[in-house]
């Protein structure tokens, strides 16, 4: 019991330090200890070397994210969604997440509309990149910068 309490106290202070530290440091300095990863290899793996077109992908995210644990994301890709011309997949990458590959969504003409919404985790201020894979071996990419702020009343040790 006493050991338990001591451990809890210790982890509490560790957490507190980490949280206060992370929260107090401006975005630019944060990037230094949690650098964005180059997501080009992830994209190349899908496009097999084809350079994606930088248009036609609309990425909707809050202007200012209040908590990076749950961030509403909406992606719209300009496409008629016909048998001949449709979006096959939408891939979401977050360069500063420890695992940048957030999710892949697979669609087809039966969807009728190339639009997907999700709630994602974002580990700090960064660029979110959405890659759309179109029929006919074509690709479109839409980067979107997002500012993830930190609140002061952080805890998960209250349980």
Partner 1 sequence: MRPLVLLLSCAALQCAAEDIPSRPSPLKGGIEFQGEAIRAMQADAFGNPGMLWVDRGAALWKAPAGARKVSCASCHGADGSSMNGVAVRYPSYVASLGGVVDLEQRVNACVTGNQEARAFAWESQELLALTAFIASRSRGMPIVPDPSPDSDATYERGRSIYFQRQGQLNLACTNCHDASWGKRLLSEPISQGHPADWPAYRLEWQAMGSLERRLRACYLGVRAEMPAYGSPDLVALEVYLARRASGVVSNPPGVRR
Partner 2 sequence: MILGKIQVPATVKAGEAFEVRVLVQHPMETGFRRDLDGHAIPMHIVDKLSCTFAGREVFRAELGSGMSANPYIAFFATASRSGEIVVEWSDDQGDKGSARATVNVA
Strand pairing report for 64-65 and 138-148:
parallel
69 or 137, CB closer to partner 2?
Answer: 69
**Total number of residues binding partner 2 (CB under 8 A)?**
39
45 binds partner 2 (CB under 8 A): no
What is the chain's length?
159
Could you tell me how far CA 7 lies from the centroid of its own chain? 33
> What residues from 84 to 103 belong to the interface with partner 2 (CB under 8 A)?
92, 94, 97-103
Phi-psi region of 16 (alpha: psi -120 to 50; beta: other; left: phi over 0): alpha
User: Binding partner of residue 105 among partner 2, partner 1, none, CB under 5 to 8 Å per kind?
Assistant: partner 2
- Residue 15 main-chain phi, psi, to 5 deg: -65, -45
**What single-letter DSSP state applies at residue 53?**
B
Give the DSSP letter string of 103-123: EEEE--GGGSS-EEEEEE---
Which stretch in 31-39, 83-91, 134-142, 146-154 sits in contact with partner 1 by CB under 8 A? 146-154
The DSSP H or E segment spanning 89 is strand 87-94
43 or 128, CB closer to partner 1?
Answer: 128
> What residues from 58 to 97 belong to the interface with partner 1 (CB under 8 A)?
62, 64-67, 69-72
Binding site for partner 2 (CB under 8 A): 4, 7-8, 10-12, 69-71, 81, 92, 94, 97-108, 110-122, 157, 159
Binding site for partner 1 (CB under 8 A): 12, 16, 23-24, 62, 64-67, 69-72, 149-159
């Amino acid at each position: 019991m006493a050991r338990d309490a001591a451990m809890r106290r210790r982890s509490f202070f560790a957490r507190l330090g980490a949280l206060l530290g992370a929260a107090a440091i401006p975005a630019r300095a944060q990037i230094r200890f949690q650098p964005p990863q180059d997501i080009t290899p992830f994209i190349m793996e899908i496009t097999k070397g084809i350079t994606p077109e930088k248009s036609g992908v609309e990425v909707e995210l809050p202007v200012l994210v209040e908590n990076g644990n749950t961030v509403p994301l909406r992606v719209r890709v300009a496409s008629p969604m016909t048998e001949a011309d449709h979006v096959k997949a939408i891939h979401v990458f977050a360069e500063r997440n420890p695992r940048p590959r957030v999710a892949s969504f697979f669609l087809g003409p039966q969807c009728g509309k190339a639009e997907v919404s999700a709630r994602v985790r974002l580990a700090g201020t960064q660029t979110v990149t959405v890659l759309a894979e179109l029929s006919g071996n074509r690709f479109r990419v839409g980067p979107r910068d997002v500012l993830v702020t930190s609140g002061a009343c952080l805890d998960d040790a209250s349980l």
